[in-house]
Structure 1
Amino acid sequence: MKKIIDWLHLWLGIASGLVVLIVAATGSLLVFEDELEPMLHPSFYYVQAPEGEKALSMDVLAGVVKDRYPGYKLREINIEQEANRSLIVLVDKGKDDILAVAVNQYTGQVIKAVNEQRRFFYVVLQLHRYLCMGKVGKVITSISCTIFLILVITGLVLWWPKRNTRKQRIRVKWNASWKRLNWDLHAVLGFYVHIVIFVIALMGLTWSYEWVNNLIYLTLDGKPYKKITAPKVEPAKAKHTAYLDRILASTDSALTYHGPIKIRFAEKKGEAITVNRKNKDAAIDNTISFMYFQPGTGALVKTRLYENESRGFKARRLVYPIHTGSLLGWPTKIIALIAALTATTLPVTGFCVWLNRKKKKKPARAKKPALNEVLLAKDSVSFPAGI
């Protein structure tokens, strides 16, 4: 049985190794995306906050962006709570032409606009989920994610030590030969992170297969997942001059906790504007409440508080922070980063283990005697000693 598991682990690893390496490497970058992105582009994300000065009207700032980029429609406004953070407005001409515009909320100055699809972390995310190959890439990463789960289980079986080899299986022998060191790096380090990488990969199946996503809701709510859309609203008869400011005031009044606000404009006519606020004061990440408003007037249509959501919805909200390691903040992020970096090395060290096996010298066969040696042996006569 162990030989079969060894064979399965070897060939499944070879089949999925390159994809696992790419997904793990990009995943390790995405763990600290929220922290790294502003650090890499500080002029885009930070502004000088004048002491005692308030930000301009949100309607004025949105108007500045619309005037600067005619032909584009407002898609999304991202408002951070820190006073020195810029306002990020997304405008688009369709799914393939999206601009992220940074605006100084105190002066109304447009700092810079970048193509959303060309951002570094956007490309990293496309590699992570789709290998930059669209639907075909999603199928490949989904299959590879499933294979990776099998590799973790079979790897644990192969690692499992006998009584007299337990110490050997939990320590890396740094002064050993290259072959032994490579095996330790693959097996021992893989053992230490196997639970974390298994859980991360398991959460990844939620995006890979719709039935996994539905299983969460069926188990906890008794019914399959139903896509949540913005409620239908009647068109505004008269547009309010500062309806975005009205939306923000209502959001601050209803959702009093600390956290960023995202205003997402309706994609279709007759739909409400969706506003969500992440609760940074909550013990776990991705705790978000939603509010819906009428376009043009800012009148409140509906409120969806996180505490009133179903068990299935709350469990589904946990999938992303578990997958990215952001569940409990920095401690879990560091654990996820170490696990992802280790997972990146496993295809490489595993491939080296396979190469080292192939290079093993086969035992030399006994040399056959030459024909003349055989004939001489037949003709010779041996005598007792002393004669």
Structure 2
Amino acid sequence: MANKRLKKIIRQTHLYLGLVSGLVVFIIAITGCCWVFRAEITRMIDGDRSVEAEDRPFITPEQAKAFALKIYPDKQIHGTAYGHATDPVEVIFYEAEPEFYHSVYLNPYSGEVLDNKNHREGFFWFVLKGHLYLWLPKAIGSQLTGYGTMIFVVMLITGVILWWPKNKKNRKQRLKFDWKTTTRWRRKNFDLHSIVGFYVSIFALVIAFSGLIMAFNWVYFVTYKTWGGDKAPQFIIPANVSEMVPPDSDENPPINRLFPILVQEYPDYESFEFHYPATDSSSIYVEISSQKGVYYSSDYRFFDQYTLAEIETPGIYGKYSNASLADKVIRMNYDIHVGAIGGLPGKIVAFLISLITATLPVTGVLLWWGRKKKERTKDINLLSIQRKHTQSAFASNSE
């Protein structure tokens, strides 16, 4: 009796949470599967930005900065990314309020402007706003997506509990579709919701929880500490170790001298992204990517902007080889969320899981609607029978 009552409570919880969050989950899932292959599709749409390789050195970070500031003289540069001999130099502009996010692409040898891209427009910007904010104001939409994802995690757990049968015989039946020509649509819909939901539940739980880590600081912090983390789970740019004031006439600033040093140290690099010091007391930081399409394994190196002395950061984003297990879990989180952690196969899995997840609110609503319709039909039939009995009794009394 107690088990039946508990099962009923779980069923009601699953139902009402699903009705409340169904639209939010659908939007997050469908925009998520669109976002997975953003980089690949963007490259196809934008075309090849490659340049002809030349036998001369790249423009320096300071030169790249000067060329790009001619385009946006009053905007803040986030960083400058270098690739290989045929890759353009990308100077990234970013400001939070009001948000400004552009990239200026330069010829790496001459500094000629090749392209100018606004990242806050187009299809994928639309997709991202839907995924993060449901196309609502950020303060409102981020709360809805965050708590909607949290509700979805509860629904996944309650869904598996409801799916779990009492005996092995029923368990086998719930692991595969057993449709016949006579199988009604309600049964097919139930199987699509329960069987498909069960198979994707573990993967969907991982993706949803990785989203919660990004949505809520307390989930981020608790996750890091649970894995045994003992550093500051943040991105921290350390201050300079020297108090030297840079000379005004320095024709080759330290940040320019840093580039060839790092190229020697990382001959198999994928890209370097140089970040200019925000203040006179800030250090230079460089993000060094060794794998295309992933972020977790990048090295983050910090250097005194005057002496180039390397500075250790107290945060978790430093050299990947120095990262603890807890550091790696947090650093891998975004790559796990979009499936990039597994390369192309991982992205395909993330795409399919997100797409299938988007069907669960739909089949769930149809399941609820079908049952409500069935209950209404029963009520109508019962009312019809009662009327017939009443009419028969009235006729008998009249006689």
What's the TM-score, normalizing by structure 2? 0.83
Q: 1:194 Cα deviation (Å)?
A: 0.8
The residue number in structure 1 matching 2:315 is none
Q: Distance in 2 between matches of 1:59 and 1:184?
A: 61
Is 1:203 matched with 2:210? yes
The correspondence for 2:277, drawn from 256, 266, 273, is 266
Contact 2:272/2:289, CA 8 A, preserved across alignment: yes
Q: Distance in 2 between matches of 1:287 and 1:30?
A: 21
Query: Structure 1 residues 230, 174: closer, same or farther in 2, change over 3 A?
Result: farther
The residue number in structure 1 matching 2:200 is 193
Contact 1:76/1:264, CA 8 A, preserved across alignment: yes
Query: Structure 1 residues 306, 371: closer, same or farther in 2, change over 3 A?
Result: closer
The letter of the residue matching 2:44 is M
Q: Distance in 1 between matches of 2:307 and 2:184?
A: 70
> Over residues 81-131 of structure 1, what are the superposed CA-to-partner deviations in whole Å (9 max), with x where a residue is unaligned?
4x4433221125664233211223244321222333225434433322233
> Over residues 60-96 of structure 1, what are the superposed CA-to-partner deviations in whole Å (9 max), with x where a residue is unaligned?
3332212233223422112234x44332211256642
Q: Distance in 2 between matches of 1:372 and 1:289?
A: 89
The residue number in structure 2 matching 1:383 is none
Contact 2:64/2:91, CA 8 A, preserved across alignment: no
Q: 1:56 Cα deviation (Å)?
A: 4.0
Number of equivalences: 372
Is 1:345 matched with 2:359? yes
Q: Distance in 1 between matches of 2:39 and 2:180?
A: 36
Q: Distance in 1 between matches of 2:229 and 2:32?
A: 32
The correspondence for 1:91, drawn from 88, 93, 107, is 93
Q: Distance in 2 between matches of 1:318 and 1:220?
A: 13
What's the TM-score, normalizing by structure 1? 0.85
The residue number in structure 1 matching 2:142 is 138
Contact 2:229/2:327, CA 8 A, preserved across alignment: no
The residue number in structure 2 matching 1:382 is none
Is 1:301 matched with 2:315? no
Give the structure with higher Rg (CA): 1
Q: Mind listing any 5+ residue stretches in structure 1 that lack a counterpart?
A: 378-387
The residue number in structure 1 matching 2:298 is 288
Q: Distance in 1 between matches of 2:320 and 2:56?
A: 33
> Over residues 14-47 of structure 1, what are the superposed CA-to-partner deviations in whole Å (9 max), with x where a residue is unaligned?
101111111111211222222222122115xx22
Give runs of aligned pairs for residues 83-232 of structure 1, distance below 5 A.
83-92=85-94, 95=97, 96-132=99-135, 133-161=137-165, 162-172=167-177, 173=179, 175=181, 176-221=183-228, 223=230, 225-232=232-239
Contact 1:74/1:90, CA 8 A, preserved across alignment: yes
Say which is worse superposed, 195-204 or 129-138, in terms of deviation: 129-138
The residue number in structure 2 matching 1:322 is 336
Give runs of aligned pairs for residues 14-53 of structure 1, distance below 5 A.
14-43=19-48, 46-50=49-53
Q: Distance in 1 between matches of 2:148 and 2:278?
A: 34
Contact 2:274/2:286, CA 8 A, preserved across alignment: yes
Q: Distance in 1 between matches of 2:52 and 2:262?
A: 23
Q: 1:196 Cα deviation (Å)?
A: 0.1
The residue number in structure 1 matching 2:397 is 375
Q: Distance in 2 between matches of 1:4 and 1:267?
A: 55
> Over residues 325-355 of structure 1, what are the superposed CA-to-partner deviations in whole Å (9 max), with x where a residue is unaligned?
1112122221111111101111111111111
Say which is worse superposed, 215-224 or 337-346, in terms of deviation: 215-224
Q: Distance in 1 between matches of 2:307 and 2:96?
A: 25
The correspondence for 1:75, drawn from 75, 78, 81, is 78
Q: 1:13 Cα deviation (Å)?
A: 0.4
The residue number in structure 2 matching 1:384 is none
Q: Mind listing any 5+ residue stretches in structure 2 that lack a counterpart?
A: 1-5, 313-317
Say which is worse superposed, 198-207 or 9-18, in terms of deviation: 198-207
Question: Would you identify which runs of 4 or more consecutive aligned residues in structure 1 move more than 6 Å?
Answer: none
Contact 1:217/1:225, CA 8 A, preserved across alignment: no
Query: Structure 1 residues 250, 119: closer, same or farther in 2, change over 3 A?
Result: farther
Q: Is the partner of 1:292 in helix, strand or coil?
A: strand
Say which is worse superposed, 264-273 or 52-61, in terms of deviation: 52-61
Query: Structure 1 residues 281, 115: closer, same or farther in 2, change over 3 A?
Result: closer
Q: Distance in 1 between matches of 2:192 and 2:18?
A: 16
Q: Distance in 2 between matches of 1:80 and 1:298?
A: 25
Contact 2:105/2:116, CA 8 A, preserved across alignment: yes
The letter of the residue matching 1:38 is R
- Measured on the aligned residues, the alpha-carbon RMSD in Å equals 2.8
Q: Distance in 2 between matches of 1:12 and 1:180?
A: 22
Q: 1:10 Cα deviation (Å)?
A: 0.9
